[in-house]
Amino acid sequence: MAQYLDLVFDIPAKTTFSYRRDEKGEAAVGKRAMAPFGKREVLGYIVGEGDSPPPGLDEAGIKAIRRVVDAEPLFDQRDISLAQWIAAYYLCSLGQALSAMIPSGRRPGSYPSLPDDENEITAAALELSDEQQAALDAIIAPAIGTEENHKGTQRNTKEDSNSSAGSSLPPMFYLYGITGSGKTEVFLRAAEHMMKAGKSVIYLVPEISLTHQTAEAIGKRFGTAAATLHSGMSGANRLTEWMRIRSGEVRIVVGPRSAVFAPVQNLGLIIIDEEHDGSYKSGNTPRYHARQAAMHRCSAEGALLLMGSATPSAEAWKLMTPGASAPIQSFLSESDPKGRMGDGMIKRLDLSRRLSGGKPPEIQPVSLEHTEGCLTPELKEEIRKTAQMGRQTILFLNRRGFAYFYHCPSCGFELTCRHCSVSLTYHKSKGRAICHYCGYSEAPPKACPQCGSLEAGFTGFGTEMIEEEVRRTFPELRVRRADADSTSKKGSLEETLALFRTGAVDILLGTQMVAKGLNFPGVRLVGVILADTGLHLPDFRAAERTFSLLVQVAGRAGRYFPDGKVIVQTLRPKDPVITRSCALDVAGFFGAELNQRRMLRFPPYSRLIRFTIRARDPLKADKAIGRLANLAEGLIPAGGDALGPAECPIGIIAGNHRRQLILRGASMGALHGAARTLLERYEKGKDSAVYLEVDVDPVSLL
């Protein structure tokens, strides 16, 4: 039995730590152990073992671990390789990567997942449309077909080749079709096919709430309960599911982004539903993107990747559209010397028709400019008409609270958070002005705090105000609001959605929560209260986000009836982002958007690594970012550059002053090298009162 163990911890240090094994001999690679670390006892991951102490270490100085946590190993060499890839790509430590992958629970819980035989098959497979059948055939052809099919996609990815087996791209497919065009059915068929072939499937969804919906559909269809993994479950229950998956007992797993790490045996397929969704990118270290991790896993484990959306991300659109990036050779040739990440690398499969009787809705932009209140006469008229038909309405506004902007016309005063550089939102139901970034709140001022003027006040409407106006205008209609405030109680969102689904609610009003993936047969009308809310944020993805949100929201209308209607209220009825989303013109939008990105050299025509500095003291923040920028100067790869140093668009959050430096380059390989050296040099002599965060392929620059 090996006498020495290599442990890693959930800390930034990028080394392994040596320990002597326990006397009982329970320790093994893949288990967690409590080990003395400094003055404390800390949970570590056992990632290796050996017979002799590491060279250069004094045998007597090596401490023993205190206690082994797990009876059975939680992870194996394959998981360690995946964690090593995460650590190398996202510039974190192996311990940080493992701790993002593996459930934190210490003991398995008694998770009440249904035994297989209690599930009944209650949903028959639908007869596929021609388009669906063609898509399915294309997807499963490589899996059942010859070796040739796999060879056909062997192109080396430098990005993906750090420390691991996979050096070829996996076969990748994209189901591109409007909401209601039957993507889910194709996903289920592809999954079924893989499972029949003895392989496992990971099915990623963008929301915890969609996890249940999808797991249920799978249960009804296959008679087999899917395993689920998500952060809403207790650590103990996640651990139970993790072990069930690892043992091979369950072969299909549903969950949001972290489910991409599910330890399935014999992976055959990863499905990414609503591929464009921002929730696939982690907001904490390691800031991994589930799509990137899925690509890596599929390539390392010989599996297929199947994505789908009505509004692909710009990255995916470029890769599935031949010719999308022809010009500016100098830049591209450097980024892509062998054409391996070439356009057309993802095979696009189109679903163009709505099944079950629906048609794409008629979408009408309406100017909000001369309207008193927040409902235009056009929208009111359609709400009335829809109610008379006995059908339902969804109203969407991406801003909660009552009013969000306090301004004094006499002196120009604006009410912002004491700890953040953002305005306070007035919440009428709570009687407070609240900061949405840090939670700080105060009583709303009765007069301008600066000059005493009584003309000062809140403007700009939020969902709370819309609710009030809708109730006032349509007292006979049943209204429910779904946003972070109205659904903070556990189960209340589910209740609201269930009421709406049964028809007990006429108007569902809310934020993003009502826009994503939900399927309500009775909806005729969708009203977008203000389409422009996110359009002019200082972020190169602002247009893409606005466009895809509008198209997704519009997709809720008329899924089962041919007369769906969408009213898009806007202050900029002529803005091309608005007009193209109203025309559901995805190709037109991306044509213009990708052109813009190419000229400005933003992703997907370049790669970014963002460094964000946080400090209580603004001078320390300035000094640290200045030092980082100086160190970066000699390191920037040819053809690349640095953006900044600069204050972040949101300069202060929760009392922390924020500064950023963005390294931009043609390829991730060269950028990674520069970033690693930069981080090493920065570490030496850094100020401990300053925090540095690294984001590889950032999706938000705010």
Asked if 613 contacts 692 with a C-beta cutoff of 8 angstroms, the reply is yes
3-state secondary structure (DSSP) of residue 397: coil
> Nearest approach, Cβ of 180 to ligand ADP (angstroms)?
4
Candidates 99-107, 432-440, 507-515, 661-669: pick the segment binding Zn ion (CB under 5 A).
432-440
Rounded to the nearest whole angstrom, what is the least distance from the CB of residue 354 to ligand ADP in the complex?
7
Of ligand ADP, Zn ion, none, which one does residue 417 interact with (CB within 5 to 8 Å by kind)? Zn ion
Q: Which is nearer to Zn ion, 519 or 700 (CB)?
A: 700
- What pairs with residue 365 in β-bridges? 568
Specify the DSSP element, H or E, that contains 307: strand 304-309
Q: How far is the CB of 462 from ligand ADP (least distance, A)?
A: 29
* Cβ nearer to ligand ADP, comparing 179 with 606: 179
Tokens representing 297? 């896993």
DSSP codes, 275-300: TT-GGGB-SSSS--BHHHHHHHHHHH
Whether the ω angle into residue 286 lies within 30 degrees of 0, i.e. cis, is: yes
459 binds, among Zn ion, ligand ADP, none (CB under 5 to 8 A by kind): none
Choose the contact partner of 113 out of Zn ion, ligand ADP, none; CB within 5 to 8 A by kind: none
Q: How far apart are CA 175 and CA 195, in angstroms?
A: 20
* Comparison of 164 and 450: residue with beta carbon closer to Zn ion: 450
Is residue 671 within 8 A of residue 335, CB to CB? The reply is: no
Task: Kindly give, in sequence order, each residue whose CB lies less than 8 Å from that of residue 409, ignoring residues fewer than 6 positions away.
Answer: 453, 455, 456
Q: Which stretch binds Zn ion (CB under 5 A): 195-203, 226-234, 395-403, 408-416?
A: 408-416
Ranges within 437-456 binding Zn ion (CB under 5 A): 437-438, 440, 448, 450-451, 453
Strand, coil or helix: what is 48?
A: strand
Positions that interact with ligand ADP (CB under 6 A): 126-129, 132, 177, 179-185, 355-356, 519
Question: Which entry of ligand ADP, Zn ion, none binds 691, CB below 5 to 8 A by partner kind?
Answer: none
CA dihedral of residues 260, 263, 266, 270 (deg, nearest 10)? -10
Residue with tokens 């079950």: 356
- Residues sharing a CB contact under 8 Å with residue 259, sequence separation 6 or more, in sequence order: 202, 203, 204, 228, 229, 230, 253
Both structure tokens of 263: 């330890």
State the Cα–Cα distance between residues 79 and 153, nearest whole angstrom. 24
SS3 345: coil
| Contact partner, 437, from ligand ADP, Zn ion, none, Cβ < 5-8 Å per class | Zn ion
410 binds, among ligand ADP, Zn ion, none (CB under 5 to 8 A by kind): Zn ion
Q: Are 631 and 681 in contact (CB under 8 A)?
A: yes
Tell the smallest beta-carbon distance from residue 563 to ligand ADP (Å). 17
Task: Closer to ligand ADP by CB, 125 or 599: give it.
Answer: 125
Our CB check for ligand ADP shows the closer of 133 and 231 to be: 133
Binding of Zn ion at residue 416 (CB under 5 A)? no
Pair type for strands 4-9 and 40-50: antiparallel
Residue 347 touches which member of Zn ion, ligand ADP, none, C-beta under 5-8 Å by kind: none
CA 347 to CA 327: how far, in whole Å?
22
392: three-class secondary structure by DSSP: strand
Closer of 179 and 398 to ligand ADP (Cβ): 179
- Measured distance CA(447)–CA(227) in Å, rounded: 56
Burial of 513 (0-12, 13-18, 19+ CB in 10 A): buried
Residue with smaller CB distance to ligand ADP, 132 or 656: 132
Site for Zn ion (CB under 5 A): which residue of 212, 359, 385, 419?
A: 419
Q: Which is nearer to Zn ion, 419 or 572 (CB)?
A: 419
- Minimum Å gap between C-beta 510 and ligand ADP is 19
What does the per-residue mask of binding to Zn ion show for 609-648, with x meaning CB under 5 A? ----------------------------------------
Asked if residue 136 lies in contact with residue 147, where contact means CB atoms within 8 angstroms, the answer is no
Name residues whose C-beta falls within 8 Å of residue 444's C-beta, 6 or more positions apart in sequence: 406, 426, 431, 432, 433, 458
Smallest gap, in angstroms, from Cβ of residue 418 to Zn ion?
Answer: 7
Sheet holding 347-351, edge to edge: 227-228, 252-255, 200-204, 267-273, 304-309, 172-177, 347-351
Binder of residue 185, out of ligand ADP, Zn ion, none (CB less than 5 to 8 A by kind): ligand ADP
453 binds, among ligand ADP, Zn ion, none (CB under 5 to 8 A by kind): Zn ion
- Output 251 or 399, the one with its CB closest to Zn ion: 399
Residue 660 binding result from ligand ADP, Zn ion, none, given CB thresholds of 5 to 8 Å by partner type:
none
Cβ distance 255 to 211 under 8 Å?
A: yes
How near is the Cβ of 356 to ligand ADP at its closest, in Å?
4
Closest to 305 (Cα-Cα) out of 179, 203, 412: 203
Q: Which is nearer to Zn ion, 62 or 422 (CB)?
A: 422
128 contact, one of ligand ADP, Zn ion, none, CB 5-8 Å limit per kind:
ligand ADP
Closest approach of Zn ion to the CB of residue 652, in Å: 8
Amino acid at 551: V
DSSP 648: E
| Residue with smaller CB distance to ligand ADP, 167 or 213 | 213
Least separation in angstroms between residue 348's CB and ligand ADP is 15
As measured in angstroms, the least distance from the Cβ of 273 to ligand ADP is 7
Q: Which residue's CB is nearer to Zn ion, number 446 or number 472?
A: 446
Min dist. Cβ of residue 428 to ligand ADP (A): 36
Q: Is 669 left (phi over 0), alpha (psi -120 to 50) or beta?
A: alpha
CA distance 98 to 80: 8
* Residue 412 beta carbon to Zn ion: minimum distance, rounded to whole angstroms: 7
Contacted by 526, from ligand ADP, Zn ion, none: CB < 5 to 8 Å by type: none
Sheet holding 441-442, edge to edge: 441-442, 432-434, 425-427, 403-407, 457-461
Pure H helices in 156-234? 183-196, 208-222
C-beta of 462: minimal distance to Zn ion in Å? 16
Between 118 and 127, CB nearer to ligand ADP: 127
Residue 221 beta carbon to ligand ADP: minimum distance, rounded to whole angstroms: 11
Could you tell me the smallest distance in angstroms from the CB atom of residue 555 to ligand ADP?
7
* Count of residues near Zn ion by CB under 5 A: 15
Q: For 147, list phi and psi in degrees, rounded to 5.
A: -55, -30
Closer residue to Zn ion in complex, CB, 411/600:
411
129 vs 161 by CB, closer to ligand ADP: 129
Exactly one of 383, 420, 470, 584 binds Zn ion (CB under 5 A); that residue is 420
> Cα–Cα distance between 119 and 683 in angstroms, integer?
55
Which residues in this chain contact Zn ion in the complex, by CB under 5 A? 408, 410-411, 413, 417, 419-420, 435, 437-438, 440, 448, 450-451, 453
